[in-house]
Amino acid sequence: MQHKGFVRTISIVRPSLNDNTADAQRLEQSLKKELSIDNILIPLSVLKKLPSNLRSWNFEAKAVLFKNRYSWILVDLLDPASDRIVLGAAIDIGSTRIVISLVDLETLQETGEAGFDNPQAAIGPDILTRIHYSNQDEGLTELNSLVINAVNLNISKLCKEHGFKNEDIYIVTGAGNTAMTHLFLGIESFEIIKEPYIPCVNIPDTLPAKSLNLDINQNGVAFLFPNIGSYFGGDLISGILFSNLDQKENPSLMVDVGTNAEIVVGSKEYLIACAGAAGPALEGGVSKMGMTARPGVIDKVWVDPDTNDLKVHTIDEKKPVGICGSGMIDLAASLFLSKRIDIRGKFLKQNCKKELMEKDSIMEFILVDKNDSGTGQPICLSQVDLNSLTSSKAAMYTILEVIVCNTAGLNFKDLEKFYVAGTFGSFINPVSAISIGMLPDIPVETFEVLGNSSLGGAKVLLKVPDAFERVMKIRKSITYIELNVNQEFMNMFSGAKFYPHTDTSRFPSLQISV
């Protein structure tokens, strides 16, 4: 069955002596009627054999369509009797990891997915290094080729794995942050990181895939999500699309916690966004033992109600080798709830007892004994690590407060939905996050995990034609607020650095006796 997506089987009115309209305009008429639209572009590649194709196909055809800002685009016209699959590829163009998902544009089924590390990491793990590199001779070309070649390679692999061909792919939708989008397009990126931080482009047009050297169907097109500035990229616009925030009756919120925390609050009436350097401690790399999720990494921590001991769960239940962001939040919550730390987030020697050791004058909490560890070393959390987490959770809460309460003028309890996006967010236990005062104390069912919302939005754009206009509208309607780290912010931040907060009345569910 065909859905009302970007592939439509249409009938074209047959010509007669009384109606000498050209084949192309005849086709236009059918498409305009099918889509209820006025504007459509037919490419030269389709025109070349249109007369004989229409006649051999008995004036029926399968149209592969997409859009640009001003019109629909006929991407290709196919034999309606052909059983060749028509695919789209949604790409989350992450600076660390890239994920490609194939979508059958007729059935709207997802037919394959592949993730791989962004090979630009070889030039520099962070975007800043890459953009500096892009400003050297051939640097941009090299960075561009790295990502495009990797995408092509993985598209080929994915197709081979599932019995498809690269030319079965007609549309690519890609969502990435502003810098990655620029590097993917091969356009100058240097001004993004230089005051006043100006991207080359906010709204990339739909382009021939060939012009980006993407190895898909030769008539294929590619569209990258637009951005609203250097610090609010297409990945977030894609996430908003995926969350349907722009269509909510009541205010909702989406937070994407990566290196930065990007937050959008709003509804169908308005969208307010900000991005802040909230969460470095929440992703692997900052804490000495922090790491990204992989087998053996501690992803859950809880207090045994009988013994008051801390219990851990590891990914794939291997011997513990470290702890990831969500495990860190659980751990902090467990430490606080079991009174192993005080409301300032400092270890309480009297309650930790043997679990604490001092190393280079810094207190370290031994979560896993070296005998139980997969590394032969104990798994520890130092006071320094914890302070970093405390700052991060305080920053997150403060930013949420600024945007939801001070800017949008809402109370947290007004939020219908609180979407947590990003791979990291998928694993956060909201109860733990509330316990440490990182997330506001609202009903647990309000929280919803979106997973890879950047990829999700790119898939929506392949499946739902109206999504294109929603993307443009989202981009246009977002009010982006610059976070001013002023005295007021610092005062709020100070209160939020406590566990859960200086104002405990904000966290009634914790039933803290003051």
Chain residues binding its own copies by CB under 8 A are 15-17, 19-25, 39, 41-42, 44, 47-52, 55, 68-71, 185-188, 190-191, 195-205, 207, 211-212, 227, 229-230
192/420 with CB nearer its own copies: 192
Instruction: Please report, for residues 301, 320, 359, 466, the alpha-carbon distance to residue 376 in angstroms, rounded to integers and kept in the order given.
Output: 20, 10, 17, 55
Nearest residue to 347 via CA among 386, 312, 305, 303: 386
174/345 with CB nearer its own copies: 174
Copy the structure tokens of residue 25. Answer: 């305009």
Least CB distance to its own copies at residue 172 (A): 14
Least CB distance to its own copies at residue 443 (A): 37
Nearest residue to 292 via CA among 159, 427, 139: 427
Least CB distance to its own copies at residue 429 (A): 37
11/39 with CB nearer its own copies: 39
Q: Which residue has the tokens 């192993």?
A: 340
Least CB distance to its own copies at residue 349 (A): 48
Least CB distance to its own copies at residue 223 (A): 12
Cα–Cα distance, 507 to 189 (Å, whole number): 44
Instruction: Please report, for residues 261, 319, 338, 366, 381, the alpha-carbon distance to residue 303 in angstroms, rounded to integers and kept in the order given.
Output: 28, 19, 7, 14, 16
20/136 with CB nearer its own copies: 20
9/71 with CB nearer its own copies: 71
Least CB distance to its own copies at residue 5 (A): 22
Cβ–Cβ under 8 Å, residues 428 and 331: no
Phi, psi at residue 509, to the nearest 5°? -65, -20
81/198 with CB nearer its own copies: 198
Phi-psi region of 175 (alpha: psi -120 to 50; beta: other; left: phi over 0): beta
Cβ–Cβ under 8 Å, residues 480 and 264: no
54/335 with CB nearer its own copies: 54
DSSP string, 339-378: TSB-TTS-B-HHHHGGGEEEETTEEEEEEE-TTT-SSSS-
Largest CA distance in the chain: 98
Least CB distance to its own copies at residue 26 (A): 8
Nearest residue to 324 via CA among 463, 424, 242: 424
77/301 with CB nearer its own copies: 77
Least CB distance to its own copies at residue 398 (A): 23
Strand pairing partners for 232? 229
Least CB distance to its own copies at residue 505 (A): 38
Copy the structure tokens of residue 269. Answer: 């009436």
Least CB distance to its own copies at residue 167 (A): 19
On the 0-12 / 13-18 / 19+ scale of CB atoms within 10 A, 131 is buried
Q: Within 13 Å of residue 54, how many CA atoms lie on the same side as its CB?
A: 20
Cα–Cα distance, 287 to 381 (Å, whole number): 8
Copy the structure tokens of residue 165. Answer: 């061909």
196/376 with CB nearer its own copies: 196
Least CB distance to its own copies at residue 306 (A): 56
Cβ–Cβ under 8 Å, residues 288 and 382: yes
212/329 with CB nearer its own copies: 212
Copy the structure tokens of residue 233. Answer: 């990229």
40/108 with CB nearer its own copies: 40
Amino acid making up residue 197: Y
Q: Which residue has the tokens 């052909």?
A: 82
Task: Tell me: cis bond preceding 430? Omega within 30 of 0 counts.
Answer: no
